[in-house]
Structure 1
């Protein structure tokens, strides 16, 4: 069996991926590694470059994850630039959408697998909307401000099990695992 590593510097991402992997035939190995992220509005470019950079350091089969928050009112911004956007604005993201305007948003998460020869990208996507204010403390960054379609609570208000059931990153991970038989 091939051992696969998940690379991230974010503790909650590591915990979520390990939780999603718990029923796998092999244990998921976790590498706490801060990998430089390319600034690009193209999510595929960001996740591919992140995987290549991680592989160059670790030299083991691995995958990384990166996502984008595409807000309709902001013409799809911030997209994959969500981390620097969040670092500057945090909870003020909710107030960027004036009353009466569409709060629709889409989260796209991508997982990229790299083993030095192969580079494969898997995607998950969730439609929803930006809440009027931050609600909850679960999840990471913007998740307490995102309400998935068909739900009334933000991802930040949901316990891990429920949050991961509707999570775009868990969907991308499931696609990856199906493809490689893990």
Structure 2
């Protein structure tokens, strides 16, 4: 059974719209990197070693154009330390308030992948980023990556729903926090990545049963 590594039950419910999966509560090492793919790939390798079952890990962030992509992969830390209102204030007087939510899903099942448009992470850059070039415990495992992006702009907080940066991220006139759950999932960065992964995953499962 596919294991989705997360402590957020809402993510699992969203993922189940695309494929069967179970929640796997595992605290993998979250390396410091500017690359969402490197972070997710490292987590997928580590979680696969722990579970010995197919693993799905996601990493996501808010990328603000005028802030050169900040907070990006550090979005969770910035939310906890500065708060979303402070991020909104940083761009409140800027003409360019464009931003994007981005998500990368990393899948590892210990096997190789056939060629497809979605990239495969083979070189565990996470080890180098962590300063452990001589540690090969998680190297050599290919990880398939799937990305999703939704563009919008930063606005003063509106709405009571969602979580994280949803109240300050407006997409086509509505903040994520103002959207119903189904409406948000249909256009979200994670939903778009899950849709790509779900289609590919079902094809992979079907090929194995032929």
TM-score by length of 2: 0.76
Report how many residues are paired. Answer: 172
SS in 1 for 2:173: coil
Match of 1:125 in 2: 149
- Structure 1 counterpart of 2:78, from 85, 89, 95: 85
**CA–CA separation in structure 2 for the residues paired with 1:128 and 1:111:** 21
The answer to whether the Cα contact below 8 Å between 1:44 and 1:110 also exists between their aligned partners in 2 is yes
**CA–CA separation in structure 2 for the residues paired with 1:75 and 1:44:** 18
Matching of residues 1-182 of structure 1 within 5 Å: 3-18=1-16, 20-21=17-18, 24=19, 27-91=20-84, 92-117=86-111, 118-132=142-156, 134-148=157-171, 151-181=172-202
Runs of 4 or more above 4 Å deviation: none
Could you list the per-position Cα deviations for residues 105-160 of structure 1 after superposition, in whole angstroms to 9, with x for gaps in the alignment? 0111111111123410001111111112x222332311221112xx2221111111
**CA–CA separation in structure 2 for the residues paired with 1:136 and 1:68:** 20
Could you list the per-position Cα deviations for residues 60-117 of structure 1 after superposition, in whole angstroms to 9, with x for gaps in the alignment? 1010111121101111111111111111111321111142431100111111111123
TM-score by length of 1: 0.86
Could you list the per-position Cα deviations for residues 14-72 of structure 1 after superposition, in whole angstroms to 9, with x for gaps in the alignment? 33323x33xx4xx3211122323111111111111111122122221010111121101
Which is greater in Rg?
A: 2
